[in-house]
Structure 1
Amino acid sequence: MELKWMVILSTMALLLAAPVHGDEESEAKLIVKKVKGKKLCDQGWECKGFSEYCCNHTISDYFQTYQFENLFSKRNTPVAHAVGFWDYHSFITAAALYQPHGFGTTGEKLTGMKEVAAFLGHVGSKTSCGYGVATGGPLAWGLCYNKEMSPSQTYCDDDFKYTYPCTPGVSYHGRGALPIYWNYNYGKTGEALKVDLLNHPEYLENNATLAFQAAVWRWMTPVKKNLPSAHDVFVGNWKPTKNDTLAKRIPGFGTTMNALYGDQVCGKDDDESMNNMVSHYLYYLDLMGVGREEAGPHEVLNCSEQEAFDLSSARSSMSSSSSAS
């Protein structure tokens, strides 16, 4: 009997001593070196590969599991459509690939927190099944979906039959954290992530880390050459030209919507989809402890009066409606 208890206690000790993924960053050692006078850092798995951005806070330093749960508190309720799919581990694992490039690590801690809230504001609004009478309010239902439930078409565009030909029997309806539509967008995203999404778009609804990775890649990547990414317009890397200023495009959350969706939501006065994204962003800022007062004035927050970026030849990856449509 005594031996049995010793075995049990030893097993419990091993389990308690084992690090969980969410605490791995506390185990990582900050490694610093200087290259041509510039400070570069490596923080292990979450910010790996010497980068100036890795010298800043990593996302898990200021955004932890309980905050993720607060933001997406209804995603695993019985009426949700992707129960058990989305989780904090998957988000951080996907984000880790882009933190050395500045995702959530650009500038001071406050900038990083605001960028995560902005990115997730887009994600929450696009994957929500919350409505006006929803329990907990309409903003508590982000990450309710991981795919379009009742697609009206297969989203196959034969104009791309030589570059991104549609796979017979495959539908390219909305999937993911920032839902991807159309064969050419699955093809481009798959090339970037080195995953065969053109033949297997269903990978995005089967793997939460990949779904988040595709969304962060889109956030960090311009939809069209010579245009800024959503990341760049948010953190201030993008400097508006005279034409941008005349078009009322300025750095901030409003222009992230312009960079991703163009005239689908911008320059349309009181657009419902635009307002929904803004509402999610403000709600998440509050829940993360930043406070919506840090979001900036009206002209920074929305793009209702902005002239839209020309995304026509690039064909935006995301529909202006949520993946629930």
Structure 2
Amino acid sequence: MQAKSSISSHHSSTHENHLSPNKLEIHFLCLSLQLNHPLLLHQDSPYFFFINPTKCLFFYPKENQQQQEKTQYSVITMEAKWLLFFTMAALMAVANGQESVKPLVKIVKGKKLCDKGWECKGWSQFCCNQTISDYFQTYQFENLFAKRNTPVAHAVGFWDYHSFITAAAQYQPHGFGTTGGKLQSMKEVAAFLGHVGSKTSCGYGVATGGPLAWGLCYNKEMSPSKLYCDDYYKYTYPCTPGVSYHGRGALPIYWNYNYGETGDALKVDLLNHPEYIENNATLAFQAALWRWMTPVKKHQPSAHDVFVGSWKPTKNDTLAKRVPGFGATMNVLYGDQVCGRGDVDTMNNIISHYLYYLDLMGVGREEAGPHEVLTCEEQKPFTVSPSSASSSSS
């Protein structure tokens, strides 16, 4: 049976085509979900889906994907048995992701490489491990960020699990959340989100549910004091007149040069349009994950490297008391703003979020390691901030 539908055509300057409703098969259901762009269930699926601003989930045969992009939909009706069928299909797809899909495997120069479709694609050794959606699911994300959609939050309806998983799919083939066994992978996800939660929290003092329950309350700085334009970079990342480069995102980005560098990496024009970060949750998570996976400077490790242990400290690092672990991630990301300053509140707040998330994810804070691994209070900073900048720390 085919869904009955009424479709209003969409006009553009380059496309004048009108699609007749009887030529486009559409199946839909409405769920409390959100996604910013089409997402293939997996490479062998006959359907793709997207969720529109009204949070209705639409299924289309792949061959109609381009047709869908030329249309907008007003009224779509469906009989009860179709609704039941696609509700079950959607819930299985969204909740279980790729669990039912066996990875493709090949051996290259004695190394086992795998491809798991959309979530871990590209023939990587890391894709042979569990993917993030195998061990970190929607309900856990909701537990970690329990207060983000309360009326007093400042980014209600913006952040969601699906945006995070979609963004993480780009970095799982490179080891994010897929390095080592399940325990190590879960710890890295908790570590990354611990930074995110602390930098986007509006939970202070005696906030309902405790101050650690308010991560992802913000997606931008609410009252920026300046434009964060540094003319030193006027030839490489010139400021756009009238544009403010204040903090935005999951790991807030500040300054024109940071927006420019991040935009170059993600192939998005963030220098002219930094507002893209606050308008697209997937992009906001992608920017944060790129920062996590990428060294701030050449010849330095990334936060990912120091956390999973792929970074080996030199003699100078040892003398500087820099050791692999969570403390070193703060050193990589924030340098002297947080590290080498003793027992400061900013550092302790980030650590508290990490430990809290480990507990909520079922890992337990006892797996975080000893004090010298958790903190960076005595570590010599990797990076010393220029006097004119405050880098990416809010």
The two structures have a TM-score, normalised by structure 2, of: 0.78
In the alignment, structure 1 residue 141 sits paired with structure 2 residue 214:
yes
Residue 110 of structure 1 corresponds to which residue in structure 2?
183
SS of the equivalent of 2:351 reads helix
Asked if 1 retains the 8 angstrom alpha-carbon contact of 2:113 and 2:125, the reply is yes
2:336 pairs with one of 253, 263, 270: 263
Residue 200 of structure 2 corresponds to which residue in structure 1?
127
Residue 305 of structure 1 corresponds to which residue in structure 2?
378
Residue 68 of structure 1 corresponds to which residue in structure 2?
141
Judged with a 3 Å threshold, the aligned counterparts in structure 2 of structure 1 residues 317 and 21 are, in CA distance, closer, same or farther, namely farther
Residue 162 of structure 1 corresponds to which residue in structure 2?
235
Unaligned runs of 5+ in 2: 1-77
Residue 8 of structure 1 corresponds to which residue in structure 2?
80
In the alignment, structure 1 residue 289 sits paired with structure 2 residue 362:
yes
1:274 pairs with one of 341, 347, 353: 347
In the alignment, structure 1 residue 17 sits paired with structure 2 residue 83:
no
Residue 286 of structure 2 corresponds to which residue in structure 1?
213
Alignment of 1:308-323 (within 5 A): 308-312=381-385, 317-319=391-393, 321=394
Q: Could you tell me how far 1:15 is from its partner in structure 2?
A: 3.2
Asked if 1 retains the 8 angstrom alpha-carbon contact of 2:309 and 2:324, the reply is yes
Instruction: Give 2:87's aligned amino acid.
Output: L
SS of the equivalent of 1:201 reads coil
In the alignment, structure 1 residue 187 sits paired with structure 2 residue 260:
yes
Residue 79 of structure 1 corresponds to which residue in structure 2?
152
Q: Could you tell me how far 1:11 is from its partner in structure 2?
A: 3.7
State the distance in 2 between where 1:14 and 1:153 align.
49
Q: Could you tell me how far 1:272 is from its partner in structure 2?
A: 1.1
Structure with greater Cα Rg:
2
Asked if 1 retains the 8 angstrom alpha-carbon contact of 2:204 and 2:211, the reply is yes
Asked if 1 retains the 8 angstrom alpha-carbon contact of 2:336 and 2:385, the reply is no
State the distance in 1 between where 2:235 and 2:94 align.
43
Identity of aligned residues (%): 80
Residue 173 of structure 2 corresponds to which residue in structure 1?
100
Q: Could you tell me how far 1:157 is from its partner in structure 2?
A: 0.5
State the distance in 2 between where 1:166 and 1:105 align.
37
- The structure, 1 or 2, with the larger RCO (C-alpha pairs under 8 Å, 6+ apart) is 1
More strand per residue: 2
Asked if 1 retains the 8 angstrom alpha-carbon contact of 2:245 and 2:259, the reply is yes
SS of the equivalent of 1:20 reads helix
SS of the equivalent of 1:41 reads strand
Judged with a 3 Å threshold, the aligned counterparts in structure 2 of structure 1 residues 14 and 283 are, in CA distance, closer, same or farther, namely closer
Residue 111 of structure 2 corresponds to which residue in structure 1?
38
State the distance in 2 between where 1:266 and 1:139 align.
21
More helix per residue: 1
State the distance in 2 between where 1:10 and 1:295 align.
47
Unaligned runs of 5+ in 1: 1-5
Q: Could you tell me how far 1:79 is from its partner in structure 2?
A: 0.1
Deviations 1:245-292 (A, max 9, x none): 111100000000001111000000011110000000000000000000
SS of the equivalent of 2:114 reads strand
Asked if 2 retains the 8 angstrom alpha-carbon contact of 1:156 and 1:171, the reply is yes
Asked if 1 retains the 8 angstrom alpha-carbon contact of 2:132 and 2:178, the reply is yes
In the alignment, structure 1 residue 173 sits paired with structure 2 residue 250:
no
Report how many residues are paired.
314
SS of the equivalent of 2:121 reads coil
Asked if 2 retains the 8 angstrom alpha-carbon contact of 1:127 and 1:143, the reply is yes
Asked if 1 retains the 8 angstrom alpha-carbon contact of 2:337 and 2:385, the reply is no
State the distance in 2 between where 1:191 and 1:10 align.
44
Asked if 2 retains the 8 angstrom alpha-carbon contact of 1:33 and 1:39, the reply is yes
RMSD (Å) for aligned C-alpha atoms: 1.4
Residue 52 of structure 1 corresponds to which residue in structure 2?
125
